[in-house]
Structure 1
Amino acid sequence: MSRHPASVLLSLLTLALLSGCDLTPATDPPAPAPGPVTPAPTSPAPTTLADRTVPLAQAASATLDVPFSGTWSAVSVPAWLRLSQQAGSGNVAFTVTADRSLATPLAADQQTLSAPMTLSWSSGTGSAARSGTVTWTVTATQYSLTGRVTAPAQAQGNDIGTAAPPTRTDTASLAAAGASGVIVRYRAAAGTLSAQTQVQQVQTQLQAVTRQATRSLTSAGITGQAIRPLSSRSVAVQVNDVPAALAALRADPSVESVTPDVILRAQATAAPVTPTDQYAPLQWAYPLTGYGAVWRDMEGGAYSRAVTVAVIDTGIRFDHPDLKGQLWRPGEGAMDLITETSNGDGDGPDTDPTDPAVTGRSTGSHGTHVTGIIAARWGLNDASCAMCSLTGVVGATRNANVKVLPIRVIDATGNATESDVAVAIRYAAGLPVSVNGVMTRTPHAAQVINLSLGGATSAANAQEMCSAVQEATAAGSLVVAAAGNGYGTLPYYPAACPGAVAVASVTLSGGSAPIRSAFSNAYPQVQLAAPGGADPYTQGTFNGGTLNGQAFPDMILSTSWDYQKNEPNYELEVGTSQASPQVAALAALLLSKGVTTDAAGTLARLNATATDLGAAGRDDQFGYGLINAAAALNAPAVSSGHGLSLQDARGQTFQPALDALGRFQAWLGDGTYRAVAGEDLNGNGIYGESGERRDERTFTLSATQPSVDLGDLQAR
């Protein structure tokens, strides 16, 4: 409130005295007119600053105006706070605004956030000059979320059990319980079996009971899909209409009994497959996307259809022992299409895309790294050097019938021309191209093409590459490309070409949902996300692995080459270059298993089974979400846990603890969130993915709605 001059204050008091309704006219002589009034002296502004606390409570911001005579500057401000002014002279005046979510810990267990900001100050001149620093501690009260995660009751068992029992005992209910057909037992067969003729007599009786069952079904107008004798008196019959078959066969006087052939189900989940290769425990991207279940599924031998994945990159090291037998070699379609020879690493286009050593080269082989993510061998490798690992790493495709077609377009300095990339895309798709003036085409056209390359060029400049993508798509190839590592929103080409599948990168968060890698470009053409690792400047270590006694960074480990020693090695890399081949590998497995049969169906399956991250639905950061190999390939369950994850609209994830009854309380910042309670069947620690039971809620917290109770979230 402002202060009034004394003369004005006197006038206000006089009016107040005259306002009483029971006062009589004054008889005293009038007071003399007031003389001039001197304003009260004001205190000079302080010439020093002191430590203080700035409480925001539950407000989004607070405005400060601290008297001061001098100059000041905010030299250290926490990342979750923003100041409207960083420096000034005179009063320290600014508005501080909090973005609480940036300071909320993963466990969301801090009711009050607190962080210091440092201000430097100076005042006076000459002998009166003074300076120093102060700490102003900002506190902010978080908003509250409560609820409980509940799971459906489940029957317990060790080995096998039936489906849930029907509520009635009639034939329709029995059939509904789950039966593939009926088991028919006929009245006792005549005669006895001697030792000398036992085999022949059994065979005769099995044939007889099969004919008898055929007659019974035929007379009842029921067609048996298959009849399998079980003994001299019983057969199993597959039928479509179980209730009708039960009723008809029970009316046959030769039938002693007939029952549904009830389907039994395993009560325990299958164990995930864990590779035994030396560095496989450090390859955290595969468990994150459900490959423990996929590799278990592969043991059934269903991944038998031949698929080729073209890796258009720096070429390959054919002599890497962890890639032996996984590649199409020179003479089998492998190709070097680099037209430039001025970099000292090429002799023009030829059929040998070996990634070469050149003078001064210190980087590893990018194309070899990308290829290993897809197809590195499992198990023992050939000995190649004294200190080389005998087993190394593993690739996603394991023993599926998948091979990589190496096509070289990037030189040893990391550069490629758009024209070479365009030719490579067409060549990979099996289209005829001109190489050294001769028309040629690969004998192994790729159903999947991977492009871990790109740049922030314009759509107009990328026209030739985009035309090649469209032609390859029309020829039946699925073109997968890295979305770019530009830390921004610029589209990168060829990923942004119409028809290409642009892949963003995610990394571990420490919680049950991954987050976008800071470097991963976000734009409307992004369709899917896959593990590409943490920002190399902030290297997270959430994967839990150790190497040489140190926490292993959340980076992607794969095959590479040591050009200084000229021997195979294994390197850590991060980027959308590492995310893209994971999508390509999963696409190849969908085709190899026969879940899908063409590029369009494969992309639709990838999108439909992806784990939605960030804002609900497709978004520029994650596309349709993180690839889910187990769901896409209908792999068996390998776990049965339940849990909860929270994500805000920016894709940040939080993991509040559940107590023994599934209850939780989370302390969060303002914003709109998604809470997903669900089961985890593929063992990747992400709850409620495609094919898993889930309960999802959206809620908003703010200063006007500081608490929300979600009630029971039922993962069923």
Structure 2
Amino acid sequence: RGAIDAWSGRSLSAEEAARARTIRELKALAASPAVASAGPNYRLAASAVPNDPFYPLQWHYPAIQLPAAWDITRGERAGSPVVVAVVDTGVLTSHPDLAGQLVAGFDFVSDAARALDGDGIDADATDPGDRDFGGASSWHGTHVAGTIAAATDNGSGVAGVAGGARVMPIRVLGRGGGTAFDILQGVRYAAGLDNVSSQTPDQPADIINLSLGGPAFVPQMQDAITQARAAGVIVVAAAGNEASSQTSFPAGYDGVISVSAVDIGNARSDFSNFGATIDVAAPGGSGSAGDVNADGYPDNILSTHADDTGGDGQPAFGFLNGTSMAAPHVAGVLALMRAVNADITPAQVDTLLAAGQLTDDLGIAGRDDEFGHGLINAYKAVVAARDLAGGGALPPVLAAQPGRFDFGSGSAARTLRLENQGGGVLDISAVTASDDWIVVSGGNTVNGALEFQVSVDRRDLPGGAYGGRLTITSNVGSHIVPVTMLVAGAELPSDVGRVYFLLLDPETGLSVAQADAAASSGRYDFRFNGVEAGEYLLVAGSDLDNDDFICGPGESCGAWPVASAPDVLTVGADGIGGLSMSIGSGGALRGSALTAAAQRGYPLLSKPAGGAAR
């Protein structure tokens, strides 16, 4: 006779009744003083392992818990596939492990000499090879595409992170790299925005992967990324391979998920950039030829590749390293998330990432400048996206604006704004200062956010530069806001090292001319040559940390006519002379025409060894 569930009155099946009896017996055993412990002997199954023959060499997939994620999804989505745009060198479209994995793309390499395919922009994103490596080509985009979505479980080649997704190849890089204009057009096309081709894809990309970068901030690219996010597109970029804190763009733009690289031991790869813009880490290999796992191959990233040393590119597989290889791991995981939650937004991804629900923490507790919020965890990411689709709530996330205070020699109080950019309830219990000279007051609620006034007290302090911090304690952990200032008596010396002078376009904030000078009797004499008539902003500053940006924190900085009120100067056909300005300390300037430098300072066009373009 069948059993009855006492809670619901529902009849239990024979299997359910047997399970209930087993649980009752286990409880009785566990209660017996003669039994040390008793519990169910669960039946487990192996996580999904694809049959691709080279998968055992892809150590980087188990490192981010992909097999467990594949038990839930391989990236297939009913109705329309998840599409990841690979904005790169194009793809070897004839590669058998990419067969059936591509949707229509576009070639935006506008310079025929750079393109090496005999024409300008067109609808063929096939990579003809860039011949950038002594006659051989990089096949960079082919490698990135395979990491994201190589055909998986097909008994051939390698596996992709999201084999059920599709890649939209967007060619923007040719011989020697690519131009900012071409890359911008590729991003706009992938997101379904207007672009120079006058065409858009039938289905815009869900995710854009940018395994490329450089030091220049381009306002038009920031605008494109902002528009792409508004359209629901998630943008991922490689942090850069200079092993420095220098911000690389597009990884440094607002709204981009910046990816650093880790090696097989989950240490930051020796080439990987780091710094305040890093959001997440992923496997990128090592700069050495080490073989820690003793599989007979270097501990780098294995994916689809090609070989053109004998002529035309032939399909192959290869090991590469770099943050370029780390970024597509994250893009692929995001494709898995979109497969289980088609409506997840870029902002929701940001919230889940900041809350630690997509990663395993590495380094110091919480976010840090090497790993961001930690190593991407595909299983946690898929579960978080699925739970959100099922009606789950976003976790609370503490956001502090600004992220740091640099008072310089000023004294005016500034506002610290704390708010919950996630869901649930954020409980802020304390805001404490590390030093007595940092003064915090207030704590009033304004438009749903908690606002404090922060000021500095220089009384009885000797001259010098000071640094401290505010610690914000909440139910989601602690958050640090650095605070710096200068005390009178620690005036800048008359020689602050080499100073760089930049003319900026007042509409775009882009640098259009550069000069540099060394001090002479406390003065810096400078001259721009070949400047066209027009309106410009003039800024100057040092680059003490050699990050190719002037006016960073702690660096000298000035603007014409004065730093506190930069103004447009008009250059006539005969030029202009006799300008003078002062240089002080305090980092990047502020003003409606200077928003491009709001966080980093101003990017140099180049850094001459001395005196060039003066």
TM-score bin, normalised by smaller chain: 0.5 to 0.7
Asked if 2 retains the 8 angstrom alpha-carbon contact of 1:430 and 1:442, the reply is yes
Alignment of 1:425-574 (within 5 A): 425-435=187-197, 439-457=198-216, 459=217, 462-509=218-265, 514-535=266-287, 538-546=288-296, 552-565=297-310, 566-574=313-321
What amino acid does structure 1 have at the position aligned with 2:293? N
2:346 matches 1:599: yes
Following superposition, the deviation at residue 272 of structure 1 comes to: 1.6
Following superposition, the deviation at residue 294 of structure 1 comes to: 1.4
2:120 matches 1:368: no
Residues 266 and 440 of structure 1: is their aligned pair in 2 closer, same or farther, counting only changes over 3 Å?
farther
How far apart are the structure 2 equivalents of 1:433 and 1:370?
A: 24
- Write the deviation string for residues 106-126 of structure 1: whole angstroms up to 9, x where unpaired: xxxxxxxxxxxxxxxxxxxxx
What amino acid does structure 1 have at the position aligned with 2:320? E
Asked if 2 retains the 8 angstrom alpha-carbon contact of 1:304 and 1:592, the reply is no
2:337 matches 1:575: no
Following superposition, the deviation at residue 422 of structure 1 comes to: 1.1
- Write the deviation string for residues 498-542 of structure 1: whole angstroms up to 9, x where unpaired: 111110000122xxxx1100111111111010000112xx33322
The aligned counterpart of 1:317 is 92
What amino acid does structure 2 have at the position aligned with 1:342? A
The TM-score, its normalising length taken from structure 2, stands at 0.54
Asked if 2 retains the 8 angstrom alpha-carbon contact of 1:529 and 1:579, the reply is yes
The aligned counterpart of 2:120 is 348
Secondary structure of the residue that 1:504 maps to in structure 2?
strand
- The structure number with the bigger radius of gyration is 1
Asked if 1 retains the 8 angstrom alpha-carbon contact of 2:109 and 2:115, the reply is no
Residues 611 and 313 of structure 1: is their aligned pair in 2 closer, same or farther, counting only changes over 3 Å?
same
The aligned counterpart of 1:424 is 186
Asked if 1 retains the 8 angstrom alpha-carbon contact of 2:268 and 2:370, the reply is yes
Asked if 2 retains the 8 angstrom alpha-carbon contact of 1:364 and 1:563, the reply is no
Following superposition, the deviation at residue 480 of structure 1 comes to: 0.3
Choose the corresponding residue for 1:632, options 381, 404, 408: 381
Choose the corresponding residue for 1:397, options 135, 156, 162: 162
Alignment of 1:375-414 (within 5 A): 375-380=149-154, 391-398=156-163, 400=164, 402-413=165-176
Q: Of the two structures, which has the highest relative contact order with CA contacts closer than 8 Å and spacing of 6 or more?
A: 1
Residues 595 and 266 of structure 1: is their aligned pair in 2 closer, same or farther, counting only changes over 3 Å?
farther
Asked if 1 retains the 8 angstrom alpha-carbon contact of 2:129 and 2:137, the reply is no
What amino acid does structure 2 have at the position aligned with 1:556? I
What amino acid does structure 1 have at the position aligned with 2:166? K
How far apart are the structure 1 equivalents of 2:114 and 2:343?
A: 42
Asked if 2 retains the 8 angstrom alpha-carbon contact of 1:280 and 1:394, the reply is yes
The TM-score, its normalising length taken from structure 1, stands at 0.47
Secondary structure of the residue that 2:347 maps to in structure 1?
helix
Alignment of 1:96-115 (within 5 A): none
How far apart are the structure 2 equivalents of 1:380 and 1:301?
A: 15
Alignment of 1:41-52 (within 5 A): none
What amino acid does structure 1 have at the position aligned with 2:337? L
- Write the deviation string for residues 637-678 of structure 1: whole angstroms up to 9, x where unpaired: xxxxxxxxxxxxxxxxxxxxxxxxxxxxxxxxxxxxxxxxxx
Following superposition, the deviation at residue 372 of structure 1 comes to: 0.1
Alignment of 1:607-618 (within 5 A): 607=354, 608-609=356-357, 610-618=359-367
How far apart are the structure 2 equivalents of 1:507 and 1:487?
A: 14
Higher strand share: 1
Secondary structure of the residue that 2:72 maps to in structure 1?
helix
Alignment of 1:280-291 (within 5 A): 280-291=55-66
Residues 587 and 344 of structure 1: is their aligned pair in 2 closer, same or farther, counting only changes over 3 Å?
closer
How far apart are the structure 2 equivalents of 1:449 and 1:603?
A: 15
Secondary structure of the residue that 1:349 maps to in structure 2?
coil
Residues 627 and 302 of structure 1: is their aligned pair in 2 closer, same or farther, counting only changes over 3 Å?
same
Choose the corresponding residue for 2:83, options 279, 290, 308: 308
Which stretch of structure 1 is more off in the superposition, 418-427 or 594-603? Answer: 594-603
Following superposition, the deviation at residue 301 of structure 1 comes to: 7.6
Residues 433 and 299 of structure 1: is their aligned pair in 2 closer, same or farther, counting only changes over 3 Å?
closer
**Sequence identity (%):** 39
Asked if 2 retains the 8 angstrom alpha-carbon contact of 1:527 and 1:622, the reply is yes
**Structure 1: which 5+ residue stretches go unaligned?**
1-170, 186-229, 237-263, 382-390, 547-551, 636-695, 697-716
2:24 matches 1:273: no
How far apart are the structure 1 equivalents of 2:9 and 2:281?
A: 47
Alignment of 1:613-692 (within 5 A): 613-634=362-383
